[in-house]
Structure 1
Amino acid sequence: MFDLLVHYTPFLIAAFLLNISPGPDMAYIVGQTAVHGRKVGLFSTLGVVSGAFVHVVAAALGLSAILATSALAFAIVKWVGVAYLVWLGIGAIRASFAKKHTGSDTRDLPHNTTLSPRNATAFQAWRQGVMIDVLNPKVAIFFMAFLPQFVDPAQGHGAVQFLILGSMVNLIGLMVESTIVLLVAAAAVRIKGHNKLGAWLQRALGAMFVALGARLAISQQ
């Protein structure tokens, strides 16, 4: 038991430090929480973690090696991810400028009209989180580079260790990011109901999506 503790303590410390470091996932979750509140923030976190787990499974099966070695595969996934992020950003910015209606006036609105910048559903937040992580080939390459350092052939099948270690990274990420969501949501309560500020937060969220897309676009394999 002591040997296992000595072996995995550096891994746990590294996983924690990686998860508290600012990055695209953290920016996305904080932005979602500030604009849409705690529930959407938590489901955004769950989506990001779910997307990361897809990469863990792919790495365990050896599929991520394709992204690491094939320039074409990397480029396809990257540019699909860029398009998705920019599409989300433009949609958020357009929604922030949607005309606000209250009371009975809503009867004359088209079915798909955005009434408020605070109308994202939990499922939409989860789905977006999954897609943002799955369509980021850098996440796959990260797991390919990070996890093998802690895989010990003497401990059993390498793919199983990949799954266990990757799941531990994601579990730590879920706890860290959920805590951040709760802190951001508590601070955001003070501005709840300020429509103009909410609209500007929505625009900032949209701009952040576009910026994340641009960041992904200039990334190299």
Structure 2
Amino acid sequence: MITATQTIGLALASIVLIAVPGPSVMFVVGRAFSHGRTNALASVLGNAIGCFSVGVAIAFGLGPLLERSEVIFQIIKWAGILYLIYLGIHAIRHAAPSHEVNSKELNNTSVWAAIRTGTIVGLTNPKSFILFTAVVPQFIDTTSGNTPLQIVVLGLIPMLIGLITDSTWALSAGQARTWLAKSPQRMTTIGRIGGASIIGVGVSVALSDNHR
């Protein structure tokens, strides 16, 4: 049974960790600038799914495995870094005013593609592992039993907070993009800036000293 004290305590801790701009926020802003508000919101949903999936995996055994193997942790981390850099390069190469985007590009940036991309980023974001291996366990009541279920249920709290905060960033960046779209040259420039931002996220994660 999850108590109100557990819920409130974890919510406050999650807000501190999630609300501060980090890889997820910069990724969402970059997607909004590069592909628009709808794509960014779909990426937010995917990112939340990815992060929560990490929590489920940790709840049912990945956590102890990661604690024993620095190699596995680093493989997951660097897979995410390389994927972010790839997304950023792709956004820069395909930056163009809306009327110049062909049907193939529209298909590549569809809602389902954005959800899939966001999910991969969430799965490989080191902050997801930090959240579920260092923060959530602090609010588990071991005397109540069924620890895996507690992790899964408590994991819904940071997921919902992430959805709200990241969606706010996506809407704000999407609105800025709408104004910039009035000028084709500005639109191309902002698309490239969005791509560069996504690359910057990958670089920042690579340079960070994130451990379990």
TM-score band by shorter chain is: 0.7 to 0.9
User: Following TM superposition, by how much is the alpha carbon of 1:73 offset from its aligned partner in structure 2, in angstroms?
Assistant: 0.8
| Aligned pairs (5 A) from 1:32-51 | 32-51=31-50
Deviation at 1:165, TM superposition (A): 0.7
Q: Deviations over 1:97-144 (max 9, x none)?
A: 79x759xxx7xxxx85x5x8xx72211211111111212344223311
Scaled by the length of structure 1, the TM-score of the pair is: 0.82
The answer to whether the aligner puts 1:30 opposite 2:29 as a matched pair is yes
Alignment of 1:63-102 (within 5 A): 63-96=62-95, 101=100
Unaligned runs of 5+ in 1: none
The Cα shift of 1:174 comes to 0.9
Deviations 1:175-202 (A, max 9, x none): 2222332333334332233221111111
Please name the residue that 1:19 is paired with.
Answer: 18
Q: CA RMSD in A?
A: 2.8
- Rg larger in 1 or in 2? 1
- Per-residue displacement from partner, 1:45-71 (whole Å, max 9, x unpaired)? 001101101111011012133223312
State the one-letter code of the partner of 1:156: G
Find the aligned partners of 1:13 and 1:142 in 2 and give their Cα distance.
13
- 2:181 paired residue among 164, 188, 192: 192
Aligned pair in 2 of structure 1 residues 210, 178: CA closer, same or farther (>3 Å)?
closer
Q: Give CA deviations for 1:5-48 in whole Å, capped at 9, x if unaligned.
A: 33432222222232211111011112222332221121010011
1:59 aligns with 2:48: no
Q: Number of residues paired by the alignment? A: 209
Q: Distance in 2 between matches of 1:74 and 1:88?
A: 22
Q: Which has the higher helix share?
A: 2
| Counterpart AA for 2:85 | V
**Between the two proteins, what is the percent identity of the paired residues?**
33
1:46–1:129 CA contact under 8 A, matched in 2:
yes
